[in-house]
Amino acid sequence: MTQTYAIGIDVGGTALKCGLVDIDGEIIYSFLMPSNDAFTEGEVIALINAAIRKCANHAPGPIVGVGIGFPGIVENGVILGGADNLPGFTNFNLKNSIYSSTGLEVIINNDANMMAWGETMYGAGKGCSDVVFLTVGTGIGGSLVINNQLYGGFRNRGTEMGHMIIKHDGIKCNCGSIGCLEAYASVTALVENYAKLTNQDPATVNGKLITKKYLEHEVEAVQVMQSHFDYLATGVISLINIFSPQKVIIGGGISASGSFYIEEIKKRVYKKVMTDTISNTEIVAAALENNAGLLGCAGLVFQNLSYLNQLQKHEA
């Protein structure tokens, strides 16, 4: 059987992470393409097309499609908006544009969804049909895989896990609401709390520094980290009680700071979660690091191709 390949492109505000991937999740060829100098919608599209050509030139076999992870709200290949760090892209049919340029099948989804799919297909959630994915960083992102399918709510508007309300009279969140998980459990919140407690400029503090101080048992770092664990666990408990997944996968740089991070969250979750809902759930750290989005993009191409093949056999 001929080996086939997919191209994955994870679009970010500063760079495109691009690669050629086989169906087993092996990255055959990858590179970063800086996007800092792309000031228009057209320039970003030109970069994507150039990246596809570059990957195609390294393909030892047929390419079955291109998967693109894009920030913001994506519906049926149309970027509706929300890509704050990229110019334009409001009600823009990126799928049709790339297909017209390349002739390749194109699948586009939100970048956080692609990360979740990468972890599900090739990473910490491999072999699972139901996964909750959280990424903890400047904000808190999230995605759901239900019954082997990405789930984004009606018209792909949902799964904003970072914006579940955990305090009805809480502090204001960047989304405009109040009391969101993101406002309490993101790395941004952690940094702000530590800087306030130690009378430092937040610009001089980061999550890596705080976790280092935490492991050294500095009182202030322990205090803010304990609060961080409490709030994040509160969100995880709610997600498990609602979805009862096989895996809760937690990603983001801070989740890779050591095994203690996941263990502290698990300890808190087990104290308060419903026994039945967590009976088949494991809480784990993400495994693919910066390659999750790229692999998710390619993996969704293969998954869609498999679905279409099954549909054709059923209709035959």
Per-residue tokens: 268: 């808190």
Domain of 95, in residue numbers? 5-115+290-315
pLDDT at position 146, please?
Answer: 96
- Burial per residue of 278-307, b for 16 or more beta-carbon CB atoms within 10 angstroms, e otherwise: beebebbbbbbeebbbbbbbbbbbbbbbee
Q: How far apart are CA 280 and CA 150, in angstroms?
A: 20
Is there a domain that residue 89 lies in?
yes
Could you tell me if residue 120 is inside a domain? no
Residues 11 and 104 in one domain: yes
Number of domains in the chain: 2
State whether 15 and 111 are in the same domain.
yes
Quick one: 262 and 310 in the same domain?
no
Please tell me whether residues 211 and 294 are part of one structural domain. Answer: no
The per-residue DSSP string of 238-301 comes to HHHHHH--SEEEEESGGGGS-HHHHHHHHHHHHHHS-TTTTTT-EEEE-SSGGGHHHHHHHHHH
Q: Which residues contact 251 (CB under 8 A, 6 or more apart)?
A: 115, 119, 133, 134, 135, 136, 285, 286, 292
My answer on whether 295 and 268 are in the same domain is: no
What CATH number should be reported for the domain holding residue 33? Answer: 3.30.420.40
pLDDT score, position 302: 94
- The whole-number pLDDT of residue 12 equals 86
Where on the phi/psi map is residue 82: left (φ > 0), alpha (ψ -120 to 50), or beta? Answer: left
In a domain, 140, yes or no: yes
CA nearest 250: which of 131, 145, 149, 163? 131
Q: Are residues 268 and 189 in the same domain?
A: yes
- The confidence score (pLDDT) of residue 304 equals 85
Same domain, 234 and 198: yes
Residue 79 lies in a domain: yes
Report the side by side order of strands in the sheet with 63-70: 27-34, 15-22, 5-11, 63-70, 106-110
pLDDT at 86: 84
Q: Is residue 96 part of a domain?
A: yes
Q: Is residue 123 part of a domain?
A: no
- Whether residue 248 is found in the same domain as residue 148: yes
Q: Say if residue 136 is in the same domain as residue 49.
A: no
- In this structure, the answer to whether residues 56 and 142 fall within a common structural domain is no
Asked if residue 121 is part of any domain, the answer here is: no
Identify whether 122 is part of a domain. no
pLDDT attached to residue 314: 44
Q: pLDDT tens per residue, the chain (316 residues)?
A: 578 999 999 998 889 999 999 999 999 999 999 988 888 999 999 999 999 999 999 999 999 999 999 988 899 999 998 776 788 899 999 999 999 999 999 999 999 999 999 999 999 999 999 999 999 998 998 999 999 999 999 988 889 999 999 999 999 998 889 999 999 999 999 999 999 999 999 999 999 999 999 999 999 999 999 999 999 999 999 999 999 999 999 998 898 899 999 999 999 999 999 999 999 999 999 999 889 999 999 999 999 876 445 534 545 4
So what's the pLDDT on residue 315? Answer: 52
Q: Do 108 and 132 fall into the same domain? A: no
CA distance 83 to 106: 19
| Same structural domain, 254 and 303 | no
